[in-house]
Amino acid sequence: MGNQAVLDRETFETFRNWRVNRAEYAKAWKERTGRKIIGYFCTYAPEELIYAAGILPVRILGSHEVQDVTEPHIFAMFCPFCRDCLAQGLKGRFDYLDGITIAQSCLHIRQAFTSWQKHVPIDYSYYLPMPHHVQSARATPFLAKELELFKASLEEWTGKKITDDAIDEAVEIHNRNRELLWKVYELRKGDSPPLTGEEAMEMVLSSQMVDKQDHNAALEKVLARLSKRDSTRPTGTRLMILGSEDDDVEFINMVESCGATFVVDDHCTGTRYFWNNVESAGDRLTSIADRYVKRVPCPTKDWPDRTRVEHVIKLAKEYDVAGAIVMQQKFCDPHELDNPALTKALKDAGVKTLFLEFDVTVPIGQFKVRVEAFLEMLQDDDLF
């Protein structure tokens, strides 16, 4: 039992440390490589192209602290996620960044990017016009042309040409990371998943903060250990989590401590981040553009057909979930418009939902009462 406990702790300690100590990792990486780091505000940012330029892309995330610095710079009615991200820049917690970038997603996070440009000292910034209407046949060629401009801007900033070989290597490294994360998520389909939802979130979050080569090595090590891991923890009620950006590990831990396990998710700190690969389509930038156009869409992009709804129902069935927790960042208009169709489709598929609205800080105690009632309802259903 002692050896198993050590194995469990060591298996995920690396990912947790990367998440908690993200600034220390980034600074050490810069010291070791002598290269630049760019922070990005949305997972539509083309990491492969940034990495091919010899730059480390890291995601800008918040800290779930009460806001006390952002209101002079951004509306209080904007979502807590964008305000929390901006607060980290204003407080100097991303002082290791050499530049920032954003691929257009929603108005709120765009404003956080613009305010960062104005009020946080940086050497470089770039706004990438990511098409909203990704279902259009013109979306991929449009984005490919925009990537050409982004590539030229990165080359001018770094003083180095981005070669085809560098792009190929970056694509290979990022595709490998996605494939390894898929393998981990496949293990969660079983009756006794060998990892919790909290551990899975640590893995995906850390992948957005560190060099993918380091992350790939850690994932390969973890996969070997997971195959030997005895799942002594009861799975309990199988849940999925979906909706707005959610990187609140404390919330995930609370829900799973109530007798449940998150076996799958659909948000940008989970499967939406890594679900599809870059597939070769001849021209390299077109291939990268096609990946971001065809990835599982964010609600800012998923219209008019709402293809994500079908994807979520498929996940719910494949992972045999009993219920879904639908998260919404307060004032998140895209998800607020999306959620009625999503919850109706889940209901029609026999999956009950619990809706929770997040602010910058999460009322764990209040949410726990509601989660416990939801789980009790699901467990009662199992008796009949």
Going along the chain from its start, the domains and CATH numbers come out as: 32-160 (3.40.50.11890)
What per-residue confidence (pLDDT) applies to 4? 53
Q: How far out from the chain centre does Cα 35 lie?
A: 24
Question: Would you write out the chain's pLDDT as a tens digit for each of its 384 residues?
Answer: 444 554 556 668 999 999 999 999 999 999 999 999 999 999 999 999 999 999 999 999 988 888 789 888 888 888 889 999 999 999 999 999 999 999 998 889 999 999 999 999 999 999 999 999 999 999 999 999 999 999 999 999 999 999 999 999 999 999 999 999 999 999 999 999 999 999 999 999 999 999 999 999 999 999 988 877 876 789 999 999 998 888 889 999 999 999 999 999 998 999 999 999 999 878 999 999 999 999 999 888 877 778 889 999 999 999 999 999 999 888 888 888 888 889 999 999 999 999 999 887 778 888 999 999 999 999 876 654
pLDDT value of position 1: 42
What was the pLDDT predicted at 138?
96
Tokens describing residue 189: 């389909």
Instruction: List C-alpha distances in Å: 362 to 71, 254, 265, 273.
Output: 20, 11, 19, 23
| E strand spans, 70-213 | 99-103, 124-128
Alpha helical stretches, state H, 188-274: 197-207, 212-226, 249-257, 271-274
Closest CA to 226 of 264, 253, 196, 256: 196
Q: For the chain, how are helix, strand and coil distributed in percent, rounded to 5? A: 55, 10, 35
Cβ contact 255:239 at 8 Å:
yes
Q: Which residues contact 171 (CB under 8 A, 6 or more apart)?
A: 48, 278, 284, 287, 288
